Structure 1
Amino acid sequence: MTTALFIAGGHTDVGKTHVACALIRAARAGALSVEALKPIASGFDAADWSASDPGRLLGALGLQPTLEALDRITPWRFAAPLAPPMAARLESRDLPLSAVAELCAARLAATRADLFVLEGVGGLMSPLTDDATGLDLMLRLDLPVVLVGGGYLGAISHTLTAIEVLRTRWQAVAAVVVSQDADPDAPDFAGTVALVAAHAGCIPVIAAPRGGPTDWANELLTAVTTI
């Protein structure tokens, strides 16, 4: 039976791909088969994409960075580092929610992997298409969510607001990962994690320190595969 997850962000650029890659590597180290999908990416440099989010996901999966593999993991790619509908308009391309949701659902239905990781774009309420947000795609697919929050000033509010939105929409949250901010002046990381945990109720809250070993990914893997 496949464990399928939606990796969402409490804000833009908080480390969703970092968390997704660490989770994929932990699963593969535990002899689990893994499939991943990040259907949409903006800010994509077609001339050098090895360090892009799709490129990093392919690396975590142990796959060669071919155009075929890229098309499979991220079929909608846009050059401008903007919200996807804005980036799509600059390229005179359509980006309908129905097509994105149908592709995701088809891949989920066809997978035989032990773990299927689907990564969203931006924050929970970031526009995904002209008429939908990341939350709308999440609700259509109805997958348990791994919510990635940041460690910057204000991140606690963003993370707890995202949790509350998911709760009000009856969307299951499998775990919250608090990703440490790179800014040395960011609030105390341990204190940030503790405050998020204090307000998250029964949701597992996992600290993901910046740099060093990713042992926390094993804790996340245990949390998401026992729901």
Structure 2
Amino acid sequence: MISAQLPAQFIIAGIGTEIGKTVVSAILVEALQADYWKPVQSGAADDSDTETVRQLISNPTTQFHPEAYRLSQPLSPHAAADLDGVHIDLNAITLPRTSNALVVELAGGLMVPLNEHELNIDLVQRLGLPIILVSRNYLGSINHTLLSIECCRSRNIPIAGIVFNGPTVTTSESFILTYTTIPCLGRIGQETSLTKDVIRHYANQFTELIGAR
């Protein structure tokens, strides 16, 4: 059952690239037995993030919804679309119909361009779902995390919580949480390999933490 304190449908956004959005998506898909959808996929035509999540979860309930745009090159979506001769039209991207919980994963950070005039954050606004922000500790990550939060707040996009992925830096995380007053939904350690058992382990932790908040 979905915790009353976590929205039934939400968007996984990151403070940048290679932050761990797909790992967090897999964990929350497993924890909630939710459906998964990545509206725009750049690159990894044979090994997409959808396939990665599919290989990492264990529950029999999750449904995987097809991408609205699947682009061949591992570039920013606007550049990948240009190479493929495609124009990403936000009007063509609509939430899949499902009665289940839904995890939506963005392609890159909030300010990544989708076309000449629109960004990921415009897609977030159009979809009308709250976000869960994935942060990772590195030099400059406080700035990137706070900028992402300010971008959302300036557009009245609700943030359901933050997930920290990778090695813990207590001073950075404590400052972010205190300054923003956004709840931490959980932490993911630096794992040497990702398996179904690892995802299930974190999914159980998230279920307990979310249920206890």
TM over 0.5: yes
Q: Give the match for residue 210 of structure 1.
A: 190
Q: Does the 8 A contact of 1:174 with 1:223 survive in 2?
A: no
Once the 2 structures are TM-superposed, how far is the Cα of residue 195 of structure 1 from its aligned partner? 2.3
* Residue-by-residue CA offset, 1:38-81 (whole Å, 9 max, x unaligned): 011112233xx1xx3121122345599xxxx87x4324111211
- From the superposition, tell whether residues 161 and 224 of structure 1 become closer, same or farther in structure 2 (CA, over 3 Å): farther
Name the SS of the counterpart of 1:127 in structure 2.
coil
Identical amino acids, percent of aligned pairs: 28
Q: Which of 132, 135, 150 lines up with 1:146 in the alignment?
A: 132
Name the SS of the counterpart of 2:109 in structure 1.
coil
Equivalent runs, 1:150-161 vs 2, <5 Å: 150-161=136-147
TM-score normalised by structure 2 residue count:
0.81
| Match status 1:192 vs 2:172 | yes
Once the 2 structures are TM-superposed, how far is the Cα of residue 139 of structure 1 from its aligned partner? 0.7
Q: Does the 8 A contact of 2:40 with 2:69 survive in 1?
A: yes
| Match status 1:9 vs 2:2 | no
| Match status 1:112 vs 2:99 | yes
Count of residue pairs brought into register by the alignment: 200
Q: Give the match for residue 184 of structure 1.
A: none
Unaligned runs of 5+ in 1: 29-33, 182-187
Unaligned runs of 5+ in 2: 193-197
Once the 2 structures are TM-superposed, how far is the Cα of residue 205 of structure 1 from its aligned partner? 5.2
Q: Does the 8 A contact of 2:130 with 2:159 survive in 1?
A: yes
TM-score normalised by structure 1 residue count:
0.77
| Match status 1:23 vs 2:10 | no
CA RMSD of aligned residues (A): 2.8
Name the SS of the counterpart of 1:118 in structure 2.
strand
Equivalent runs, 1:1-227 vs 2, <5 Å: 3-28=8-33, 34-46=34-46, 49=47, 52-60=48-56, 72-100=65-93, 103-104=94-95, 107=96, 110-113=97-100, 115-180=101-166, 189-204=169-184, 206-211=186-191, 213=198, 217-218=203-204, 220-221=206-207
Aligned partners of 1:222 and 1:208: how far apart in 2?
A: 14
Aligned partners of 1:221 and 1:137: how far apart in 2?
A: 28
Question: What one-letter code is carried by the residue in structure 1 that aligns with 2:50?
Answer: P
Aligned partners of 2:130 and 2:208: how far apart in 1?
A: 14
- From the superposition, tell whether residues 149 and 140 of structure 1 become closer, same or farther in structure 2 (CA, over 3 Å): same
